Amino acid sequence: MKSEILIRMKEIKIFLFDLEGVLLNNNTTPDKLFDLLPVKIKEFNRHGLKFGIITAREDDDLINKLKSIEDCYVISSSLDKVSSADNLLAANSVDYKNVFYMGDDLLDIPLLKKCRLTSTPMNGRREVKRIVNFVAKSNDPENIINEILSLFKKSMEIETRAAK
């Protein structure tokens, strides 16, 4: 199973996350999220990767502040996350085979079913856990992002070794 995840991870170009329940939950505050995201997004960028958030949350101060983070795609007010993702992918000339998505609730299932690699936090709904490629080892956003970056780095190490 883990080898399949690493194989899929090598093809990912855009990492998308749900907001409520994934990046913002009982383990984190908006202030902690704003401290965390710019640092982690730079790490994604160093690897040539894009980072985004797709949320059903309406535009408010939190969303506007997220939209101000450099290199962070934020799509809000989106009940139809697939259509929103379609637009983002078209604008970046990327296909769903190059997309990772982490969601935790029923509203995320249609997008989870389209993406090449999918995950949910430990506290994701049972229905979501049944369809994702893997369940993250944590509910904490920093640990989740670190786990995903670690998997990406391992997938690149495997590719580098295979090329030698």
Taking the whole predicted model, whether its pTM rises above 0.85 is answered as yes
Q: Give the tens place of pLDDT for each residue, 55-83.
A: 999 999 999 999 999 999 999 998 999 99
Closest CA to 53 of 45, 39, 35, 41: 41
pLDDT at 163: 60
DSSP structural state of residue 53: E
Helix (H, G, I), strand (E, B) or coil at 58: coil
164 or 42, higher pLDDT: 42
**Cα–Cα distances in angstroms (integers) from residue 37 to residues 12, 28, 43, 53, in the given order:** 19, 12, 10, 11
Residue 87 has pLDDT above 90, yes or no: yes
pLDDT at 157: 87
Which residues span the domain enclosing 8?
2-163
CATH value at residue 11: 3.40.50.1000
Please state, in angstroms and rounded to a whole number, the distance separating the CA atoms of residues 72 and 8. Answer: 23
Average pLDDT over residues 117-145: 96
DSSP character string of 4-26: HHHHHHTT--EEEE-TBTTTBST
Residue 43 has pLDDT above 60, yes or no: yes
Please state, in angstroms and rounded to a whole number, the distance separating the CA atoms of residues 89 and 99. Answer: 9
Number of domains in the chain: 1
Residue 164 has pLDDT above 90, yes or no: no
Residue 11 has pLDDT above 80, yes or no: yes
Residue 148 · residue 100 · CB < 8 Å: yes
Residue 159 has pLDDT above 80, yes or no: no
**Cα–Cα distances in angstroms (integers) from residue 120 to residues 65, 70, 100, 123, 163, in the given order:** 24, 25, 11, 8, 31
Show the tokens assigned to 106: 């029923």
Residue 160 has pLDDT above 70, yes or no: no
